[in-house]
Amino acid sequence: MATETHEAAGEGLADAVGVAAHSADAAPGMPQLDFGTFPNQIFWLAVTLVVIYLVLSRVALPRIAAILAERAGTITNDLAAAEDLKAKAVEAEEAYNKALADARAEATRIAAATRAEIQADLDDAIAKADAEIAEKAAESEKAIADIRAGALAAVEEVAKDTAAELVAALGGKSDAAAIDGAVGARVKG
């Protein structure tokens, strides 16, 4: 292209990077070395730095420092509170365990007392029953003895009657007194 001129030939860095510099104006290859713009840049840089410095030192940095300090404080407080709560929880657990142990001991005591009471009642009842049984047994024994005595008397009488009848049937004259004596002697024997 004929329009693509090389006016900038020989300009240091512009050519070093393989550049055809602007053909319109004769500005140097590096705008960085255009000293005419230096006062402008330095002035605006000074303004910028002062503004940023004021914004940072007056507003931003104290605020961020406060936020960080507050957060550190909150974390410390929360940790302390957590420690507190943990201690309280341990305490509560101990109290609970103590109450549990107390209740268990109380229950054991009540159970033992109840058992003793029931045992006493039981012993009483058994003694009473034994006494009743003994009484009933004695009564029964007496009744049996009576019955046995009655039976013996009946046996003697039946034997006497039978003997008298036998004597009469054989043609003898029954002598009541002799029969009584003989039967009595036999029955006893």
Partner 1 sequence: MASEAHGAEGGGLVFHPMDQFIVKPLFGDGPVAWYTPTNVTLWMGITILAVIALLVLSTSKRAIVPSRGQSVAEMAYGFIYKMLEDVTGKEGVKYFPYVMTLFMFIVLANFLGLIPMAFTTTSHIAVTAVLAVLVFLSVTILGFIKNGVSFLGLFWVSAAPLPLRPILAVIEIISYFVRPVSHSIRLAGNMMAGHAVIKVFAGFAAIAAISPLSVVAITAMYGLEVLVAFIQAYVFIILTCVYLKDALHPHH
Q: Which stretch binds partner 1 (CB under 8 A): 4-12, 81-89, 99-107, 156-164?
A: 4-12
26 binds partner 1 (CB under 8 A): no
18 binds partner 1 (CB under 8 A): yes
Q: Which stretch binds partner 1 (CB under 8 A): 31-39, 106-114, 121-129, 142-150?
A: 31-39
> CA 38 to CA 36: how far, in whole Å?
6
For 15, other C-beta atoms within 10 Å of its C-beta total 15
89 binds partner 1 (CB under 8 A): no
Q: Which of 177, 152, 150 is nearest to 164 (CA)?
A: 177
CB of 1 to partner 1, least distance (A): 4
Q: Which CB atom, from 27 or from 159, has the smaller least distance to partner 1?
A: 27
CB of 106 to partner 1, least distance (A): 50
Q: Which CB atom, from 18 or from 171, has the smaller least distance to partner 1?
A: 18
CB of 82 to partner 1, least distance (A): 16
> CA 114 to CA 62: how far, in whole Å?
76
Judged by CB under 8 A, which of 12, 46, 104, 120 binds partner 1? 46
Within the chain, what is the greatest distance between any pair of CA atoms?
197
Judged by CB under 8 A, which of 10, 36, 171, 189 binds partner 1? 36
Judged by CB under 8 A, which of 1, 26, 169, 185 binds partner 1? 1
CB contact at 8 A, 60 and 43: no
Place of tokens 């104006």: 25
Place of tokens 């008397």: 153
Residue 24 DSSP class = S
Residues 6+ apart with CB under 8 A from 159: 183, 186, 187
> CA 181 to CA 156: how far, in whole Å?
11
Residue ranges binding partner 1 (CB under 8 A): 1-6, 13-14, 17-22, 27, 29-34, 36-49, 51-53, 55-57, 59-61, 63-68, 70-71, 74
